[in-house]
Amino acid sequence: MEPESYVDVNVFVYWLGNHPRFGRAAHGWIKKIESASKRKYTTSSLTLYQALVIVAGLTGKSLKDETLVEGIIKAIKNLPGLEIASLIPEDLERASSLMEDYDLDYEDALHLAVALRSKVKEIISNDRDFDHTSLRRKF
């Protein structure tokens, strides 16, 4: 069974940080992922790293803080309906062309490369840059 949706990093950051504006929507998506069948949603291993860096920056904590690192990784990794796809060399190469095709920065292009490789049809994100891609954006 292939995943149906790719989950962008911002969903996890808004959820973990209880964002004042987007936290409620992100929490709703996390609830759906928690109750979903295995592998219904996917994200990239890049997402975990980005979530760590962003949350550490927002909280003033360090990536040397094992409690922070373990807590974030465990929170995301233990979502039952979520598959975490590894980045592969082809994603790194494909992202370069996706940057040009869709006017994306490299990070968004990497997420798009993994999403396309995973054969999803939609992305869960509030990043409007994905509106110009072949994926349907939801948030």
Structure tokens at 82: 């979520």
Q: pLDDT tier at 38 (50, 70, 90 boundaries)?
A: confident
Average of per-residue pLDDT across 41-58: 96
Quote the percentage of the chain above a pLDDT of 70: 99
Per-residue pLDDT at 56: 95
What letter does residue 130 receive in the DSSP assignment?
G
Cα distances from 106 to residues 31, 62, 91, in angstroms, run 29, 24, 11
Task: Find all residues with CB under 8 Å of 88, minimum gap 6, and list them.
Answer: 117
Per-residue pLDDT at 93: 95
pLDDT per position as a tens digit, 91-101: 999 999 999 99
Hey, what domains does the chain have and what are their CATH numbers? 5-126 (3.40.50.1010)
In the three-class reduction of DSSP (H, G, I as helix; E, B as strand; rest coil), residue 84 is classed as: strand
